[in-house]
């Protein structure tokens, strides 16, 4: 922790810093960084917890679990440039807000899962989650 503080102090005093920390003076930038962290951690947690749930609770093979999660991940990759163009055209509010709603709907749906949940419901919920996360993580994409 001390090393991080010393690094930040040193970067603020340099004429040409390696990492410009002055951007953190702007509250909207800080909010964007926090929201991106939350969304990224949501995505990582779902990519760990959901396969464990399917393999342990639903007793599905690892290969089948991967195939079940494949459509959501593929759609996320394929639609990334389209989402980027929408971001450029309509702005962040028009893209990130529906993405956040999709993530919330996905989490609400996950709360209803049990051992008798149909696989197609898991696939659809994962697709909704991945599309919502893709809309929320736009700052990390090249939107050309």
Mean pLDDT of all residues in 94-120: 89
Phi, psi angle pair for 16, to nearest 5°: -125, 85
- Per the prediction, the chain carries an average pLDDT of 86
pLDDT at position 67 is 93
Greatest Cα pair distance, the chain, in angstroms, is: 61
Q: Which residues of 95-125 are buried (b: 16+ CB within 10 A; e: fewer)?
A: bbeebbebbeebeebbeebeeebeeeebbeb
Higher pLDDT: 80 or 141? It is: 80
Q: Is 132 exposed, middle or buried (0-12, 13-18, 19+ CB in 10 A)?
A: buried
Q: Would the pTM count as exceeding 0.85?
A: no
Mean per-residue pLDDT, 102-125: 90
Looking at residue 120, its pLDDT comes to: 93
pLDDT of residue 68: 92
DSSP state of 110: H
């Amino acid at each position: 922790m001390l090393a991080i503080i010393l690094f930040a102090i040193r970067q603020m005093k340099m004429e040409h810093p390696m990492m410009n920390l002055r951007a953190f003076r702007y509250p909207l930038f800080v909010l964007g960084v926090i929201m991106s962290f939350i969304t990224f951690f949501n995505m990582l947690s779902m990519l760990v917890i959901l396969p464990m749930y399917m393999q342990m609770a639903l007793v599905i093979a690892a290969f089948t679990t991967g195939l079940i999660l494949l459509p959501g991940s593929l759609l996320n990759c394929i639609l990334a440039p389209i989402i980027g163009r929408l971001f450029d055209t309509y702005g962040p509010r028009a893209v990130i807000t529906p993405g956040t709603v999709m993530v919330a709907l996905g989490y609400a749906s996950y709360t209803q899962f049990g051992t008798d949940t149909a696989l197609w419901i898991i696939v659809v919920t994962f697709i909704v989650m991945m599309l919502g996360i893709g809309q929320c993580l736009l700052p990390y994409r090249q939107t050309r």
